[in-house]
Amino acid sequence: MRKLESRVAALPCWRGAVALEPLKGGLTNISFVATDRGERFVVRCGEDIPVHHVFRDRERAVSKAAFEAGLSPEMVYAEPGIMVLRFIDGRTFAEADLAPNLARMAALLKRCHETVGRHLRGPANAFWVFHVIRDYVRLLGAEPHYLAVADRLEEMQVALPLVFGHHDLLPGNFLDDGSRLWLIDWEYGGFGTPMFDLANLSCNGNFSEAQDVALLEAYFTSKTDGPLRPAFAAMKVASALREALWALVSDVHLRMPGVDYKEHARTYMARFEVALAALPTQK
């Protein structure tokens, strides 16, 4: 950690001696709040994580596009393994904050899906949760039952426009500055279906069925009867399974101080089982 702090303190973007304070809460990255001549920044440190399909050059490009789209703070400096972003003076969401802010987040996701991809330069990622699940299952040597589940969930999806999504809507990736919401941390940003971000938000907020309906209707601005709701329910199962498997892979391949990947896996595997049991029967 001291070696990393020394590297951060020596970055050429600083105008003077910089004060660093560790920023807690990261699951795969080490971050600091840096104060440079009275101005604060967030320094985000992390290498590529191939087992999670995370490549930092892509993350930097998406972060820049998200800033240009007005959704994310400005990236003022970057080098391999490090990004420096302007500090947002706001409150990081907890799980309990998601449902009360459902309409605001639906609008934020709509803006993300419609605008970030227009600003992106260079190669772009694609995100398809069913591929991710299959890759994790094979990497872990996990129960082949999960592959059959992924096939079933994928078959329940409906055709929707291709959008640029965030794909990691944990509560801590939303900031509220008192007047607006910000969306941060773009490791998994890429082109995909809007259904995943919606289901991911619901899964991470542990939404009720009524809240799910409200989220879908806020996003699509219309009633969402027909095959859309079963597709959403299936994607919610997929989101929980992906998060549980992500944690199991992380437990094997990552080392982050203070992060209990096993507990994270247990939490989301329980949500997976509940969502799977509630899944509508296919006709």
Q: What is the CATH number of the domain that holds 35?
A: 3.30.200.20
The answer to whether the CB of 241 falls within 8 A of the CB of 154 is: no
- What mean pLDDT comes out for the span 93-106? 97
Domain count, the chain: 2
Helices (H), 166-227: 194-205, 209-220
Pairing of strands 190-192, 163-165: antiparallel
In tens, the pLDDT along 37-51 reads 999 999 999 999 999
**Whether residues 53 and 174 fall in one domain:** no
In tens, the pLDDT along 117-126 reads 999 999 999 9
Over 90: is that where the pLDDT of 133 sits? yes
The answer to whether the CB of 190 falls within 8 A of the CB of 197 is: no
Q: Domain residues for 71?
A: 2-86
**Whether residues 172 and 119 fall in one domain:** yes
**Whether residues 61 and 101 fall in one domain:** no
Out of 51, 86, 121, a domain closes at 86
**Whether residues 71 and 114 fall in one domain:** no
Which pLDDT does position 250 carry in this prediction?
A: 98
Average pLDDT over the chain, rounded to an integer: 96
CA separation for the pair 102, 218 (Å, rounded): 8
**Which residue, 10, 26, 1, is CA-closest to 258?**
26
CA separation for the pair 137, 146 (Å, rounded): 7
Contacts of range 220-226, beta carbons closer than 8 Å, 24 or more positions apart? none
The answer to whether the CB of 193 falls within 8 A of the CB of 156 is: no
- What mean pLDDT comes out for the span 105-122? 98
Residue 61 lies in a domain: yes
Residue 226 lies in a domain: yes
Percent of the chain beyond pLDDT 70? Answer: 99
CA separation for the pair 119, 205 (Å, rounded): 29
**Whether residues 78 and 118 fall in one domain:** no
Residue 185 lies in a domain: yes
**Whether residues 174 and 204 fall in one domain:** yes
Over 80: is that where the pLDDT of 283 sits? no
Question: Under the phi-then-psi rule, with left for phi > 0, alpha for psi from -120 to 50, and beta for the rest, what region is 185?
Answer: left
In tens, the pLDDT along 149-204 reads 999 999 999 999 999 999 999 999 999 999 999 999 999 999 999 999 999 999 99
Which pLDDT does position 12 carry in this prediction?
A: 97
Over 80: is that where the pLDDT of 1 sits? no
**CATH value at residue 96:** 3.90.1200.10
CA separation for the pair 72, 67 (Å, rounded): 5
pTM: 0.95
CA separation for the pair 155, 147 (Å, rounded): 12
CA separation for the pair 26, 141 (Å, rounded): 27
Residue 153 lies in a domain: yes
**Whether residues 79 and 103 fall in one domain:** no
In tens, the pLDDT along 225-249 reads 889 999 999 999 999 999 999 999 9
Residue 282 lies in a domain: no
**Whether residues 46 and 115 fall in one domain:** no
Residue 7 lies in a domain: yes
In this predicted model, which residue has the larger pLDDT, 282 or 148? Answer: 148
Which pLDDT does position 53 carry in this prediction?
A: 98
Structure tokens at 80: 């391999």
**Whether residues 54 and 105 fall in one domain:** no
Out of 63, 86, 109, a domain closes at 86
Out of 40, 55, 86, a domain closes at 86
Helices (H), the chain: 2-9, 56-68, 95-98, 102-119, 129-140, 145-155, 194-205, 209-220, 228-253, 261-277
In our burial notation (b when 16+ CB lie closer than 10 A, e otherwise), range 119-144 reads bbeeeebebbbbebbbebbeeeebee
CA angle 240, 242, 243 (to 5 degrees): 65
**Whether residues 29 and 112 fall in one domain:** no
Residue 45 lies in a domain: yes
Which pLDDT does position 25 carry in this prediction?
A: 82
The answer to whether the CB of 104 falls within 8 A of the CB of 70 is: no
CA distances from 119 to 41, 66, 163, 171 (A): 23, 8, 13, 25
- Give the Cβ contact number of residue 273 at 10 Å: 14
**Whether residues 105 and 77 fall in one domain:** no
**Whether residues 99 and 45 fall in one domain:** no
Structure tokens at 220: 């699509």
In tens, the pLDDT along 83-97 reads 999 999 999 999 999
Which pLDDT does position 225 carry in this prediction?
A: 81
In tens, the pLDDT along 192-225 reads 999 999 999 999 999 999 999 999 999 998 888 8
Which pLDDT does position 282 carry in this prediction?
A: 61
Placement of tokens 């399909």 in the chain: 53
Residue 283 lies in a domain: no
